[in-house]
């Protein structure tokens, strides 16, 4: 019976998946914990379920060792986990790269329409007693150009929805991507910036995308255009965006992510964009719909259960990927090791010495990590498992 610990109010659909698999030893925390409290909470856990606020750094991973077998990120991002440290500890990390794409895409399209129609500022004026019934500066989405930076799972779906309401779609991506519908790739970013009436960002975080929207790129944007960021907070220079909004070079903006986000419900957001009438600010809710959270709970929990029960790592973001296959022997050995010559031969010799015949074996490597699933026709007793664990190349070994 694996010990499972959930943080940050993970949807009950995840618990239901574990329950169907007979895994019911689940401890739940409704929020992220302080680093000190987290270290205590993860001790002895075999499975951890987290969302974006729980920081699984090296200290937290070390506290969970050696019992920790896997981490599930019930969200798209995995930058809250030290992925390299987890891999070095033999711990695969799973996420949900597809389950909330529709939720994010719908929010982006909704915000584009609201900003084109100047709804945020019109609504604010009505609340303050002004009946500003004018069409000045208000536009339909139909016929406008949507520019997408980052044409992945979310960006491509945003483009599909945009085309359904009559928008022209162009996109820029560092990798060659097959366009959906009538979308057109634009390899020159400056051309895309100059053509887009609405610009939406769907790129990963990191040094390669930090402040890709800055004072210079904002100047290249079409005058009177709109910027939407539902990707990562660090990809937009907020001060430069404020200047562009105040000068009215940019007509409006919607941000769902920020460089520094509040850590609790009651902590206010600190941003120079607060108070600007043509700006929509939302608290990182792009993927936060009831449907998406339910789907994320199911998707990640199913990956975790499959790994616990069969060792399959398909979909792991930091680990060699081995797809599901039915067990062919009496026992299955999961062996994570340093990617060195002779490891497989040494493992097989050890099993042969113990009269354990191999009926199926699959190996895959990723960087410095190797992972092999071996089905044998006999019982792998405690002595045999301990012998595998004592091999110089072994990172971890388990039997399922």
Residue 332 annotated among the catalytic residues of the structure = no
| C-alpha to C-alpha distance for 199 and 150, rounded to whole angstroms | 11
Contact 359, 113 (CB under 8 A): no
Tell me if residue 337 is catalytic: no
Please say if 125 is a catalytic residue: no
**Cross-strand partners of 318:** none
362: Cβ contacts below 8 Å, ≥ 6 apart:
322, 325, 372, 373
Tell me the β-bridge partners of 169: 146
Q: How many CB atoms lie within 10 A of CB 10?
A: 24
CB 195 within 8 A of CB 168: no
Helix axes 290-310, 12-20, angle to 10 degrees: 30
Q: Which are the contacts of 36, defined by CB distance < 8 A and separation ≥ 6? A: none
Q: Which of 106, 163, 261, 325 is catalytic?
A: 261
Q: What are phi and psi of 271, to 5 degrees?
A: -155, 140
Q: How far apart are CA 48 and CA 200, in angstroms?
A: 33
Q: How would you class 54 by CB atoms within 10 Å of its CB: exposed for 0-12, middle for 13-18, buried for 19 or more?
A: buried
Active-site annotation holder among 168, 172, 232, 306? 232
How far is 160 from 55, CA to CA, in rounded Å? 34
CA distance 33 to 63: 14
Catalytic position from the list 172, 284, 335, 337: 284
Catalytic annotation, residues: 232, 261, 284
């Amino acid at each position: 019976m694996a010990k499972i610990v959930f943080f940050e109010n993970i949807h009950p659909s995840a618990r239901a998946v574990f329950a169907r698999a007979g895994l019911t030893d689940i401890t739940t925390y409704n929020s992220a914990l302080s680093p000190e409290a987290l270290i205590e909470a993860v001790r002895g856990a075999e499975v951890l379920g987290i969302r974006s606020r729980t920081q699984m750094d090296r200290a937290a991973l070390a506290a969970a060792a050696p019992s920790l077998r896997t981490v599930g990120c019930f969200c798209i991002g995995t930058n809250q986990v030290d992925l390299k440290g987890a891999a070095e500890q033999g711990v695969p990390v799973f996420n949900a790269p597809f389950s909330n794409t529709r939720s994010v895409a719908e929010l982006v399209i909704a915000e584009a329409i609201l900003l084109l129609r100047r709804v945020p500022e019109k609504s604010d004026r009505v609340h303050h007693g002004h009946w500003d019934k004018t069409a000045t500066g208000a536009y339909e989405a139909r016929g406008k150009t949507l520019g997408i930076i980052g044409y992945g799972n979310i960006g491509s779906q945003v483009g599909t929805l945009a085309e359904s309401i009559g928008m022209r779609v162009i996109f820029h991506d560092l990798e060659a991507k097959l366009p959906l519908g009538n979308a057109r790739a634009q390899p020159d970013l400056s051309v895309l910036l100059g053509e887009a009436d609405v610009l939406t960002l769907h790129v990963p975080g990191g040094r390669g995308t930090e402040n890709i929207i800055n004072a210079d790129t904002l100047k290249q944007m079409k005058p009177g255009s709109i910027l939407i960021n539902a990707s990562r907070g660090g990809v937009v220079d907020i001060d430069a965006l404020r200047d562009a909004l105040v000068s009215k070079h940019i007509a409006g903006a919607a941000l769902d992510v920020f460089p520094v986000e509040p850590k609790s419900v009651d902590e206010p957001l600190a941003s120079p964009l607060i108070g600007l009438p043509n700006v929509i600010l939302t608290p990182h809710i792009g993927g936060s719909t009831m449907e998406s959270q339910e789907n994320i709970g199911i998707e990640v929990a199913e990956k975790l259960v499959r790994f616990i029960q069969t060792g399959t790592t398909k979909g792991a973001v930091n680990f060699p990927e081995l797809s599901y296959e039915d067990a062919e022997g009496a026992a299955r050995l999961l062996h994570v090791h340093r990617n060195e010559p002779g490891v497989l031969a040494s493992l097989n010799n050890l099993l042969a010495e113990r009269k354990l015949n191999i009926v199926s074996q699959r190996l895959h490597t990723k960087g410095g990590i190797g992972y092999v699933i071996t089905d044998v026709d006999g019982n792998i007793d405690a002595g045999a498992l301990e012998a595998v664990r004592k091999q110089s190349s072994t990172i971890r070994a388990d039997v399922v």
